[in-house]
Structure 1
Amino acid sequence: MSRPSTLPEGALVLGPLLRYVDQTSATVWVRTAERATVTVVRAGRRWSAPTFGVHGSHYALVVCDGLEPASDEPYEVLLDDERVWPLEGAPPSHIRTLDPDRLPHFAFGSCRTMGSHDAKGVRLHGVDALRSLGVTLRDVPDAGRPDLMVLLGDQVYADTTPHPELEEFIRARRSLDEPPYEEIKDYVEYDELYRLTWSEPVIRWLLSTLPSSMIFDDHDVRDDWNTSWSWRRDMRATTWWQERIVSGLASYWVHQHLGNLSPDELAQEELYARVLAHAASGAEDELDLTADLDALAARADAEPETYRWSHTRELGDCLLVVLDSRAARDLQPDRRSILDATEMQWLDETLRGGHRHVFVGTSLPFLLPPGLHDFEAIDEVVAQGEYGRTAAHAAERVRRTVDLEHWAAFNAGFDEVFEMVMDLARGNRGPAPDTVTFLSGDVHNSYFAEVTDPARHGARSRIVQAVCSPLRNPMPRGVRIAVSMLTRSLVRPMRFLASRSRRVPDPRYPWTVTEGPWFDNNVALCRVTSGGLELTWVAGMVDGDDHDHPWLREVYSVRVPSRDAATDDTRPEPDRGEDPGERPGGPRRRPAAVVA
């Protein structure tokens, strides 16, 4: 046991975050106030790593290897041999390795803005679904802990400052009357943004004990990031964008990307290999990555084919592929694609058969509600100049104003990926999986969609889309009406308009939104069962003024039977309602049943 700490309060600035976990290894990320040696202690074993520096801050990623499969033990974090985690009076954090005999279970969602968790914060932002999940896992003894948490974008909001402490921090550094005004300007401000977003006690504990996979979306950098060639041209013409994009990608590399990689991938990562080599050399100085990381970030933005943010995870006999659908775009007007040729080739090589279920995480929904898909496809054709320059300018304004920049607005890439998925589902890439499930967020509403009669197209897999958004950032009520109409009542009119033009492509493989949308702040839970998948969306609820103990209610649940399952009852369970008063008797308090 470590001796009592004599370090100053705040020596551990942020973390620990438990990131990559497999059967025999795990990685733990921290940010420290000073240069230090960071040690993780678990079951009598110790693993250490020195900090590295970026823009004056200090970080470490400790690789814990040689672990026992299916083991579950608490761990401690030490700085220079003095314990700093767990905090006094806080519950322990655990590293639970994957069990090859345990069916996978994971959580997913996106879009979580900052804000207090008192009555005022709830009025503005709603109850934080991720924090509610953390409270449940912390306080309910029989709540089952997921194997992984997949955060599908907008982990931080760099284009708004809805937190007084962040605004005060920025004001102390520069004038808010100059660009980029109240938005994040540089790496130091990003650093503070991450600290404030992840330091709330329940969230901090949750991130320390639940492994996570992360990918950015637009607000991690800026709203509408890489919407179009003209958007990128306009941003590059500003005085502040280059510093912003370099800082955004560099801070993402530190705070999110490194933890997505396995120990073997870390050893091969071009910049982190230097961190490992420096540590192995026994050098006494701290390695400063500032200049090299900024250069990597600038290159990754200018030449996205030179660096990959996408990654994969194995979960038992299931495969999770997490796609970068923001930085890897090809925006050239004559060959627009949401994935450039290099990224497309990587995905083509990655989508291989032999897995029971394949999950494709992409921050933007692949299968939008059909009415919205047609709307975006129409806008893309017009914006590309098919109906003249005046119409193109108008369509580009619409595209930016109402965020028409999903897969449907990059139709060539959409079709190419859809063909890959269908090829996988037909068994042409090895044994077909039971299901191919797209996991997405971004749109601030949740729904479930499915490809209609895939067997008619030769597919042996069910192909579905599960969207969970937001974790905490509710959509205005007026926009909810428009989304609901594009999901239901406007589907046929939009299809009619799209079909009237030979330039607007018809989707080759139709799909239907079978359930949704719903607009709660919620987090989704996916459980692999012996008969298929169970997908459940849960929302946080507060009794009276007891904001410290939110609980989870089930918003909706969908069972997706495997193709060999005996039952063909695929309809969702009738347990929905955006407002507790919409269902007789109000919401059901079911934290253990929902999470376990």
Structure 2
Amino acid sequence: MTASLVLGPMLRYVDETSAALWVETSEACTVELRAGPDAWTASTFGAHGHHYALVEAAGLPPGTTLEYTVTIDGERCWPEPDSPFPAPSIRTLHPERRLRLAFGSCRTSVPHDTMGNATHGVDALRAYAMHRAHTDDDDARPDLVAFLGDQVYADSTSKEMKEFISSRRSLHEPPGEELKDYEEYAHLYKLAWSDPANRWLLSTLPSAMIFDDHDIRDDWNASLSWRKKMHGTTWWHGRIVAGLASYWVYQHLGNLSSAARTEDPLWQKIASHHGPEELDLTADLDSFAERADADPLSYRWSYCRDIGDARIITVDSRAARVLEPARRSLLDETELTWLDEHFRGGVRHLLIATSLPFLLPRGLHHIESWDEALAEGAWGRLGSRMGEVLRQGLDLEHWGAFQRSFRAVAALACEVADGKRGPAPQTVTFLSGDVHFSYIAEVNRSSGSRILQAVCSPIRNPLPRALRFATVVMSYGVASPLGALVARSARVPKPPFSWTSIKGPWFDNNLALLEDTDSGLQLRWATGVVNGNPDSPELQEVARHTIAPRRAGAPRKEPV
């Protein structure tokens, strides 16, 4: 049987001289990437009956755009014949080019027709793909698209996903309409990434990803009580193993640089295989995922990289949690130590990408800190039970609900901003998603670097209109002083600093675009609109704001 392309190609990690290209194929095969006169190949590896390859291209010229083709066993498969989109290309980084970054989170996999748009809105990523396909401005091309959580929804499935599940098992058996195993995850990723416009976009823009709860399940690792409840089911073990295993294959592997991949035990297994038969990674992959869940210290999902004169630290805020009440923390000690090592100045902009907003609207932050104290016994046993019910029922498990971690990272941010960890950058900016509304907030400071929070959520999964009003009420206005009052009633210390919303909220499906300019860090949010034809959404700007630096000059860059 002749192998064909199932998913991809997806352009993943790209630097000044190398690029990684990920594909899923229908059969075991050899995949070739050709750019200009050069070509690179990789054999597929197997997992649960699926076949994947990551082709590593090296020796590319810096700051260059190269069109490419992909072949499978010598037969060209990409670009597809008669494709309406421009030729796919790789643009390598240039050391003097300033950062351009797109980011966002929360994207559901429903059809892009009139019905899908009516229930979930226009996919902002797809609208951006159509925009990029019709512009020749290569200078406006992002260096990276950062997907900050909920790339797929394993617990809230579409009609198409339910139909696939019901073809394999009864929807009346646990876990019902939610995902159960690797095969179902593989199909969910196919639904998420096979739309022609998005597929073309992801074949030509490098991407980086980090999970959030819905990639696994709502409230994933919210508390020890939540975890015990999941472990009491008949299906959770299979779900978490499949979720982490498929995440490594579909998302995490492409996050890594070539040097970081050589240190990954699963990649070492793939790279060292030279036999005539395809490597079946299934057993090793499942054992790895099982171990990563049981012992979070055994693997790090966070990663760090520099692009130009900016550093991007992508932080795992889900799997690295410590849930025992006496040690409750969003980051375990090993993860916090790693973050401490990378949380340094000496760059123009320090960006911390974390799925959960570090700076929630202050009213919501106070409510979450109060609820954590309540659940830990500040108001006795009855209050503790009530706090846990509220935590899971209202999703009160962001950074504000992990005060030890919040204060530790706040201290790191202030030290960098004050120049105590190398030359102070222009900004220390947290990039996040999750909350299904977008905004910009800033720490109230009169000197040093500006400390900011920029949120873009959702890409495609808007809040119902009734919940939008409730969100605003809980987050803004009188919620802030009232939240502070209830937090003090539970003896929660005041935050180490105050912050203010400087733009937002807005609730559109959005993709955010960040650019380092002479005027400062420019942030834009864009949404998709349909004027008659759902196949041709247009991109429309929702908001724009420029963060001017407090002091001029680009500080010296220090190595990671």
Alignment TM-score, normalising by the size of structure 2: 0.96
Question: Which residue among 310, 323, 342 is the counterpart of 2:334?
Answer: 342
Measure how far apart 1:502 and its partner are.
Answer: 5.8
**Counterparts of 1:474 and 1:159 in 2: how far apart (Å)?**
17
Question: Equivalents in 2 of 1:52, 1:260: separation in Å?
Answer: 18
Pairing 1:197–2:192 present: yes
In the alignment, structure 1 residue 81 sits paired with structure 2 residue 74 = yes
Q: 1:530 offset after TM fit, Å?
A: 2.0
Partner SS, residue 271 of structure 1: helix
1:558 aligns with 2:550: no
Q: Secondary structure at the match of 2:157?
A: coil
2:288 is aligned with 1:293: no
CA, structure 1 residues 250+496, in 2 after alignment: closer, same or farther (shift >3 Å)? closer
Q: 1:265-295 CA deviation, whole Å, 9 max, x = no partner? A: 11111110111111xxx31011111111111
Task: Find the partner of 1:530 among 518, 530, 535.
Answer: 518
| Alignment partner of 1:169 out of 160, 164, 183 | 164
Q: Distance in 2 between matches of 1:454 and 1:441?
A: 27
* Contact 1:7-1:82 at 8 Å conserved across structures: no
Q: Counterpart in 2 of 1:215?
A: 210
Alignment partner of 1:66 is 2:59: yes
1:452-471 matched pairs, under 5 angstroms: 452-455=444-447, 460-471=448-459
CA contact (8 A) 1:152 1:217 kept: yes
3-state DSSP of counterpart to 2:495: coil
Residue 482 of structure 1 is matched in structure 2 by: 470
CA deviation vs aligned residue, 1:213-266 (integer Å, no higher than 9, x gap): 100000000000000000000000100000000000000000000000001111
Corresponding position of 1:151: 147
State the shift of 1:114 in Å. Answer: 1.2
Contact 2:367 2:487 in 1 (8 A): no
1:245 maps to what in 2?
Answer: 240
1:439 match: 431
Structure 1 pair 549–326 and aligned structure 2 pair: CA distance change class (3 A): same
Distance of aligned partners of 1:520 and 1:190 in 2 relative to their CA distance in 1, 3 Å threshold: same
Equivalent residue, structure 2, for 1:586: none
| Contact residue 105 and residue 148 of structure 2 kept, 8 A | yes
**DSSP-derived class of the 1:421 partner:** helix
Q: 2:44 aligns with which of 26, 29, 51?
A: 51
Corresponding position: 1:265 with 2:260: yes
Task: State how far apart, in whole Å, the 1-side matches of 2:449 and 2:445 are.
Answer: 10
Q: Is the contact made by 1:23 and 1:97 (CA closer than 8 Å) also made in structure 2?
A: yes
Q: Deviations over 1:439-478 (max 9, x none)?
A: 00000000000000252xxxx1100000000000000112
Compute the displacement of 1:121 (Å). 1.0
Q: Structure 1 residue 499: deviation in Å?
A: 5.5
Whole-angstrom distance in 2 between the partners of 1:494 and 1:448: 22
Give the aligned partner of residue 381 of structure 1. Answer: 373
Alignment map for 1:251-330 (pairs within 5 Å):
251-278=246-273, 282-330=274-322
In 1, Cα distance between equivalents of 2:417 and 2:204: 35
Q: Partners in 2 of 1:68 and 1:257 — Cα distance?
A: 26
**Displacement after TM superposition at 1:141 (Å):** 2.7
Give the match for residue 129 of structure 2: 134
In structure 2, the residue matched to 1:36 is 29
What's the secondary structure of 1:432's corresponding residue?
A: coil
| Structure 1 residues 352-363: aligned runs within 5 Å | 352-363=344-355
Q: Which residue of 1 aligns with 2:94?
A: 99
Amino acid at match of 2:342: T
Conserved in 1, the CA contact under 8 Å of 2:5 and 2:24? Answer: yes
Query: Following TM superposition, by how much is the alpha carbon of 1:160 offset from its aligned partner in structure 2, in angstroms?
Result: 1.7
Instruction: List per-residue Cα deviations over 1:97-131 (Å, max 9, x = no partner).
Output: 00112211010000000111121111100011000
Identity within the alignment, %: 54
| TM superposition shift of 1:140 | 2.5
Find out whether 1:182 has 2:177 as its counterpart.
yes
1 CA distance for matches of 2:240 and 2:250? Answer: 15
Structure 2: distance between partners of 1:490 and 1:20: 45
TM-score (norm 1): 0.91
What RMSD over aligned residues (CA atoms) do the two structures have, in Å?
A: 1.3
User: Counterparts of 1:490 and 1:189 in 2: how far apart (Å)?
Assistant: 45
The farther-off stretch of 70-79 and 138-147 is 138-147
SS at match of 1:526: strand
- C-alpha contact 1:531 1:565 (8 A) present in aligned 2: no
Distance 2:22 2:483 in 1: 48
Work out whether residues 249 and 297 of structure 1, in 8 Å CA contact, stay in contact via their aligned partners in 2: yes
Q: Residues 465-505 of structure 1, C-alpha deviation per residue, up to 9 Å, x if partnerless?
A: 00000000000112111211233222343244236426212
Q: C-alpha distance in 2, partners of 1:423/1:453? A: 13
Letter in 1 for 2:329: S
Cα shift at 1:407: 0.2
CA distance in 2, matches of 1:308, 1:496: 35
The 2-side partners of 1:499 and 1:339 are apart by 22
**Counterpart contact for 2:364–2:483, Cα < 8 Å:** no
* Contact preservation (8 Å) 1:526, 1:535: yes
In structure 2, list runs of 5 or more residues that go unmatched: 554-560
- Across the two proteins, how many residue pairs are aligned to each other? 550
Contact 1:40-1:75 within 8 A present in 2 as well = yes
Q: Secondary structure of the equivalent of 1:61?
A: strand
Aligned-partner Cα distance in 1 for 2:244–2:344: 30
Q: How far apart in 2 are the matches of 1:303 and 1:110?
A: 27
Q: Distance in 2 between matches of 1:492 and 1:255?
A: 40
**Paired AA for residue 283 in structure 1:** G
Partner of 1:408: helix, strand, or coil?
A: helix
Distance 2:551 2:224 in 1: 46
Shift of 1:401: 0.8
For 1:563, what is the secondary structure of its paired residue?
A: coil
- SS of residue paired to 1:116: coil
Supply the distance in 2 between the matched residues of 1:276 and 1:538 (Cα, whole angstroms): 40
